[in-house]
Amino acid sequence: MKIILLQDEKKLGKKGDIIEASDGYARNYILPKKIGVEANAKNLNDLKLQKANEAKIAKARLEEAQALAGQLAEKTVEVKMKAGEGGRAFGSVSSKEIVNACKEQYGIELDKKKLALPEALKNFGVYEIDVKLHPQVMAKLKVHISES
């Protein structure tokens, strides 16, 4: 019997896969536990429409990420810090502070986990930070750290 999986199952396959299972296994395990449905014409058509919709959504997210990457490339985020001895920064700038400054200055919300800080930002100056907006899109964000 052909089955369309509704969820990831360790020994069977991933969600959306069409598998071949014995009739007894399908009727007694897969169908009652709602792990999958029978692969008839209606269910195959539903799967096709669902995959087309997911592809459309993925394309829209990719385009949004590319547009945001273009916006970030043009901007410089200003972060102010206290100065310690000898003009060095007192402490360091965290990704949370950068995200908050970006939101305040430009209204752009970023996830702090998506920022890839090369090292602790302890000195004043301009840094370029990689921001992973999408698995296929990396953006550069300029951060200017100055004395308050």
**Mind listing the pLDDT tens digit for each residue in 53-98?**
999 999 999 999 999 999 998 989 999 888 877 767 778 888 999 9
61 and 55 Cβ atoms separated by less than 8 Å? no
136 and 59 Cβ atoms separated by less than 8 Å? no
What are 74's two structure tokens? 């043009």
Q: For a pLDDT cut of 70, what percent of the chain falls above it?
A: 99
pLDDT reported for residue 29: 94
Give me the sheet containing 137-147, strands edge to edge. Answer: 76-81, 137-147, 125-134, 115-116
